[in-house]
A and B are shown apart, each in its own frame.
Chain A
Amino acid sequence: QSALTQPRSVSGSPGQSVTISCTGTTSDIGTYDYVSWYQQHPGKAPKLIIYDVTERPSGVPDRFSGSKSGNTASLTISGLQAEDETDYYCCAYAGRYTWVFGGGTKLTVL
């Protein structure tokens, strides 16, 4: 499978909103609603922040939201805070117990 496509970087000022896109194909995002998003700080393991396209695990602020349209999923972070500055990865199920990840997006809070 090919990796999902994410922008290499996005940026926003504190308090603003940013959206990170994640483009796949009809074999993954376009067919299955098993899309999740992970936040990863340098030197740390990825942390789940969105699952099932739109759901947030307990403890994740409601500033984080997810959506999907066609072959593209999106992560929106509203009310940007300095602590949000790090890397974000999308992940999608691609059938037959296989998954594909995005290449990652570095979020900079200006």
Chain B
Amino acid sequence: DVQLVESGGGLVRTGGSLRLACVASGFIFSDYEMIWVRQAPGKGPEWISFISETGNTMYYGGSVTGRFTISRDNAENSLYLQMNSLRVEDTAVYYCARILGSGNHWGWFDPWGQGTLVTVSS
């Protein structure tokens, strides 16, 4: 089965740091672009970061630029999100997801992990 499993969430004070991990199984991880998406309580999802298959290209949403860093270790089938300078508004469930498609048919997410909850408290 194709599966993504996140870990690393928890309770942290404002200004603190956390590192999330996402372990992939059931597919060739190094063949796929990946993203992180978060969802605050009662809100819609928010795309926050993209990484290419090799890890050489990364993009970030405006709300996390300069504070979050995406990375991957293809040998370990793992995706990471280093989160620094955390704010109360970063409180959310964080999901990793695989990007599918190619060429002119591209850009949807499947599967998603089960999510890991990050709570930032002042």
Please give the residue numbers on chain A whose beta carbons come within 8 Å of chain B beta carbons, in ascending order: 1, 3, 6, 32-34, 36, 38, 44-48, 51-52, 57, 89, 91, 93, 96-104
Contacts and interface: CB of A to CB of B under 8 A. Distances in A.
Contacts of A97: 50, 57, 59
A3 B47 CA distance: 10
Interface in B99-117: 100-101, 104-115
Contact of A3 (B35, B44, B114): B44
B43 A103 contact: yes
Contact of A101 (B44, B62, B111, B114): B44
Given A51-B101, A52-B101, A98-B61, A103 B108 contact: no
The secondary structure that dominates the A interface is loop
Interface residues of B, number: 27
Contacts of B113: 45
A36 B108 contact: yes
19 contacts: A6-B44, A32-B107, A34-B101, A34-B106, A34-B107, A34-B108, A36-B108, A45-B95, A45-B114, A46-B95, A48-B111, A51-B110, A52-B108, A91-B47, A97-B57, A98-B50, A99-B35, A99-B107, A103-B44
Question: Shortest 4 CB-CB distances between A and B: which pairs?
Answer: A34-B107, A51-B108, A36-B108, A45-B112
A44 B107 CA distance: 21
- Which of B50, B107, B114 has the largest number of chain A CB atoms within 10 A? B107
Contacts of A3: 44, 46
A91 B37 CA distance: 12
A100 B47 contact: yes
B112 A89 contact: no
B121 to A, nearest CB: 22
Given A45-B95, A97-B57, A97-B59, A89 B45 contact: yes
Given A45-B95, A51-B101, A96-B59, A101 B47 contact: yes
Contacts of B115: 45
Contacts of B46: 3, 101
A6 B43 CA distance: 12
A1 B95 CA distance: 20
